Every structure is written in C-alpha cells, then in structure tokens.
Amino acid sequence: MLKRRTYSFFSLLALLLLLALPFAAQAAEDDPVLSEVETLLLSSAPQDRNRAVELLASSQHPMAFDFFALLLDGNLYINRQDNHLYIIEAVSVSAGQTARSLLTDAEVIVERPRDFRRVAINNAQRTQIRRVMAETGLNADSSRTRLKAVRQLMSDPDADSIALIRQAYTREDSNRVRDLMAVALAIETLTLGGDEAAMRDAIETLGDSLEPRARNALVQFSQTAENTALVAQADKALISIEQSIRFYKGLETVYFGLSLGSVLVLAAIGLAITFGVMGVINMAHGELIMIGAYTTFVIQQLMPNHIGLSVLVAIPAAFVVSGLVGIAIERGVIRFLYGRPLETLLATFGISLILQQAVRSIFSPLNKTVETPSWMSGMLEFNPVFAITLNRLYIILFCLLVFFALLLILKRTALGLQVRAVSQNRAMARAMGVRSERVDMMTFGLGSGVAGIAGVALSQITNVGPNLGQAYIIDSFMVVVFGGVGNIWGTLVAGMTLGVANKIMEPWAGAVLAKILVLVFIILFIQKKPRGLFPQRGRAAEG
C-alpha cells in the first residue's frame, strides 16, 4: 500500500512538472520588456538600439546585466528564419552549433550559418552599455553581478568609474565585492599620490590582494616613487604576493595531476581486474576504451538537443557495449589461450588492429568531437590566480564513484567473492565448485565495461578517434604494475601518484621527458619491489 501511494505521489509530481514547463516557457516569451527590447534590436536603425539599451536599463530587469554582456561580447544573433534573437556563445557561427532563444530558452541546431546575423553595435553604443552595466551591476541584488560590474569598471577606470565605486562601497555588504572595491580605490590612491598615511593603507590593501591590477600598480609605484619607505613597503607587499601566487600555482599543479591521475585510474582499473584475475595481457584494452568513447559520440548524435542528458545515458550504454565486445573477445579467442601469456599478447594485439580498422571503416579515420555539456563547462574561481575547471573536477569525482562502485561489487556480491577466490587460488576455487570459466567471462566483461566507462570520461577532454586507446594502453599497464597486479586500491594510489608526479615534472622537464622519467622510476621501483605497491595475496600469488 505504501509503495502504491509513493508511486502515485511521484506520478502526480511528474505530471505537474510536465504541465508547468509550457507555462514557464510562455511566461518568459510574454515578458513585455524583453519582447520590446527584441523588437527594437531587430530594427536596423541605430536610434532603436539606443532606445533598447535605455529601456532595459530603466526597467531594472533581472536579465539586464547578462543581456548587456551578450551585446558587448557579440554573442547575440538575429535568426533570419523566424526573426527572433538567439544566443550563440562562439566567436563565429558554424554548422552544428547550438543556438538558444533569448525569450524561450529553446535550443536549435544551426544548419545554415548565414541564417544568423550578429547584432552589431557601434563604439558610442559600447560606451553607453558599459556605463549602464556599471550602474546597473553595482545596484544588482546578486553579489556575483556586482563583482562583474566592479571588474568592468576597473578594466577602464576614470573619474566617473571611481566615483561610482566609492559611492557603492559604503553600502556594499558582500566581503568579496567590498574587497575588490577597496583594491580599485587603493589603486586610484596610489596612482594619484597624496597623503603618506593614505598611501601606506593603499599599499597594505594591495598587498593582501591577488588581483593582477593590484600587483601591476605596486610594481609601477615601486619603479617610479621617490619615497624610500613607501617603496620598501611596496617591495615587501610584492614579495608576499609572489609567495601566494607560487602557493596557488602549486595547488593548481596538484589539481591537474589529480585529474590526469583520475584518467589513468579509469583507463587502468578495468585492466587491473582482467590482468590480475586471468593473467591475460590484453593489448586490446585501449580499443575497448575507444569503443566507449565512440558510444558516447553515437548517443550524442541521437540526442542532439539533450547534450547534458546524453552524457549520462552514454555511461551505462558504453559499459554494456564495451562489456559485450569484451565477452565476445574472451569467448572467441582468449579462452583458448589461457596459460600462454605471449600468445594472448599477440592475439589481443591483432584484435586491437581489427577494432581500429573497423572504427575507421564505420566512422572514418577523422577524429570526432563530443560536445561538453553546459553543466560541465566553466570553472570555479577561488581567487584571481586559482580556478579549477569543472570538467576536470567532474572527472575526478566520476573516477572515485566508479572506483568505489567497483570495490562494492568485488566486496559485496557473489561475483566479487568468486573473482577474489579465482584470483588468489584458481585450483582451490574450482575444487570448491566455482565455475572458473564463467568467472573469467564475467570478469573480462566487467573489466571491458569499466574500460568503456573510461572512454566516456576521455571523450570530454580529448577528441575521439581510432587511435584514442593507443595513447593510454602503455600508461594503463604502468599503473597496474606499479600499484600491484590485481589490486584496485593499488591502481588508485598508483594512478594518482603517477599523475601528480608527471604534472610536477612537466614545467621543468617537458611533457616527453617527464614521461620518460616516470617510466625510469617505475623500472627502478619494480627492481626493488617486483609485486608493486600492494602485492596480490594468496597461494597463486606466492607461487
């Protein structure tokens, strides 16, 4: 009874949401201010565009600031087919891009670029928009919008801009916006000169900021000022800023290393299962990753208007497709070659060539681009010198999610128990009634499916092509051997370690030499600990 009521509740909720969607779109379309602004901008007369800017500014519309930013960046276009305004966030229009309606947020795919004409504005209108943006932005309810407005004023400061910032500073309640305003006022004080106490306060304020303009103002003051005490204070502030910049650059390097390590873990964790349990040197593992990436591309082609959802759909689809291909490889070839590792290496290498050629025949040898969803685009900015990109952050989180899901399967399911039994002592497991052939098939399918999931992640950071898997097969084997064959915890630690080490060495050694140094380190490490960081346990491992 409870289940029936719960089902009825969620069904009613879903129905209400579906009914609400058309009304939400209609409400946006019937916005009188935006509708009139659109009509004015569709006109070719310059005075109508001036009236559109003034109307939007006087209306205090919540979209005013973002609308002005679209005009300045040149991302607002007129669709000649339906005579409406569309947003295209690109330098130029090309076929296949997504255009979003200004009024309804409906998305269309650009088929003919000539159908879209950019809304052009002249220099006088740009000046007017910047002034209106500053005034509108400083009075906005959103602290993020006010922060944008202050940065806009700081990009081209004049007496009027500083007066606006000084006036807004007294009523500002956001610490981040207030700090940026204080930096703008301090730069003005340091530039104009005057009272020594005020200049000391200005230098202290700029010394606590990581804004590039604050540092530039201190450098210029240090080179031109004649007051020795103030110059010494400015130099001390610059040293403090440089130390902070180095610290945050180090954090950025570690973050890039973790993101690279996450890619290595995703690429290697499936191999760790098959290599550890079955002892098969699978040279086609990279092609299973490639199949997952191409599955993402196909899903996105089937769902062109739902890019964000297509990536989520591609995760289980890639797991199933790559898993089935892996099972076919195991049943068709590998099961006849158990106990002969060199022959499995040659056979799977031949399979990898066949898969690459099949992809070239089906999709062409050219790389395919998989579009990144809007919710994975952009970055999180912590301060002016440290920001993390969302796509890398999602890949790190996705890697941990896949890892713990796989760990749960191996530790809490019957298949996982059998996999661990076979990996530790195959003969004893068979004596206890475990069907090792079935376990081998399911294990190879599981490892191949995880490789397909890795392909979904890789499709978001690189182009999808027939040679995608070849770029990661060697790294995957290095991670598995370094972490300990068959140990997924070792795979996680090894992947993250190698990723961070690679990124730390790249700035001074270069990308190629850094990889060589990592390889040399692994060779030396294996000489000392042949079984890796976390060696496999069991009688088979000891033997």
Q: Answer yes or no: are the C-beta atoms of 63 and 80 closer than 8 Å.
A: no
The two three-digit tokens of residue 435, written as one number: 């069907």
pLDDT of residue 239: 93
Residues of the chain scoring pLDDT < 70:
1-30, 60, 276-277, 423, 536-543
Distance CA 528, CA 380 (A): 42
Domain ranges of the chain: 30-123, 126-247, 248-537
pLDDT of residue 20: 39
Greatest Cα-to-Cα distance within the chain, rounded to the nearest angstrom: 91
pLDDT of residue 8: 41
Q: Cα–Cα distances in Å, from 379 out to 91, 143, 386, 394, 403?
A: 20, 17, 10, 11, 25
Q: How many CB atoms lie within 10 A of CB 393?
A: 17
pLDDT of residue 28: 42
pTM of the model: 0.73
pLDDT of residue 537: 58
pLDDT of residue 258: 92
Backbone angles phi, psi at 442, to 5 degrees: -65, -35
